[in-house]
Structure 1
Amino acid sequence: MERLLMIDNDGKATEELSQYLTREGFCVDTVERGSTGIERATAGQYDLVLLDIQLPDLNGFEVLNQLCSRTTIPVVIVTARGDDIDKIVGLEMGADDYLAKPCNPRELLARLRVVLRRIRPQRVRAAASPAPRKLKVGDLEINLGTRMVLRGGEIVELTSVEFNLLRQLVANAGELVSREKLIREVLGRALSPCDRSIDVHVSKLRKKLGISAEGFDRIKTIRNEGYIYTLATAIDQLGSGRC
């Protein structure tokens, strides 16, 4: 049974949604304050967080930032602030999904299950592995067991989505990984028209990684196709442009 933490002070709506998700097999806890939510979520006992942006003490985006920097727990935002700009900001900061209130409980349930299906194999592989496996390209090292990323020996703080995205790219370093595959493997859904969410995550990841020790961009965009994590030996073939 997955444990879910709801950080939301929308009284009646929160209670109704909690009851619905409980009937669907979740173990649900609710808190009304962002500070309490951060404390509970970072204790490591939850599989997923549902977060509202409008909270009485902290701005929900600050809560999201704290959760993404301190944990790998997936976060789904459910809020009355449904403007496109808020959605873009939420996804860029590391939210795994974003729904505007009022939302259909069945749609929310479906999206939660997609997120959980995406992370479940990762947890199973990590638990089954007798020793953490690692990926290494140049000065970048990814520990798949601890989900730690090192660049030149220094820790790079990534959100859950950013880590999964980087793992896909580095595992196929020097080769094109299509946007369709990244959306399917990292975000757990099919590619849809005008869906730019994976591009937002790539942009955020680029900024955190910076340029390589050799002085070139780590992630190259292939327009309308996808992305390549570049290798020093492949720079001549890839060219130097980036969109």
Structure 2
Amino acid sequence: MFKNSTIGSKNENGIVAYIMLAAGLCSLLDFSRAESYISYGNLMERDQDFFQATYLYDIRQGSELSDEVYGFRGVPYESALGDAINLDKFYKTNWTDFSLTWVTKLDDGLGLIWGGSTGEYGEKYKIYPKFKFGFIYQTWLSKSSKLSIYATSYLGGMLREKTCQGDYGEIGGVQTVNCRLAGSTLKPSDTLKYLLNKKPRYEQFISISYNLSFN
């Protein structure tokens, strides 16, 4: 049913992926203070150079958009000629979106959040790399109470889905169609409105917390 299409280079994101992976491993090996969160004490330390003041905040492989695409794989349907069409080849990937986030202390109680992701792609979709930035601020309001503000934003990271060329035989001919909906009852042209073109969830995020200790 589908016409042959050209698959993009398998190494498109390889260089970025290896650089980020190496940077993450260096953070884990070299930063003795590396941890999954940044404590108030870390941000209050003085006389640190850039590397001493930088902590690995988060490392993960996969994302919400990557999970959404994963759900399309292995979903077959039957063509008008009775052939089984499997979407796995269109939505499989050799590299799952990989992200790293660091925090660098700028001043007493203030840290810069920065990082990014490699992105991900398959034959019929692409998740673009993204850059993450923001800040974390912590201050004691009294001996027993602390205020924390955490804010982040993203640049990039869009998920864009590509089309297929479907062969509808003598009646319909070859038409551009949404790969996932080629076997539906919709007209090929009507399926195009359902192509994914999504931004990451929580493109901007802010959290304010207040902690009170009882001695």
TM-score of Structure 1 vs Structure 2, range by shorter chain = under 0.3
Higher relative contact order (CA 8 A, sep 6+): 2
- As a proportion of its length, which structure holds more strand? 2
- As a proportion of its length, which structure holds more helix? 1
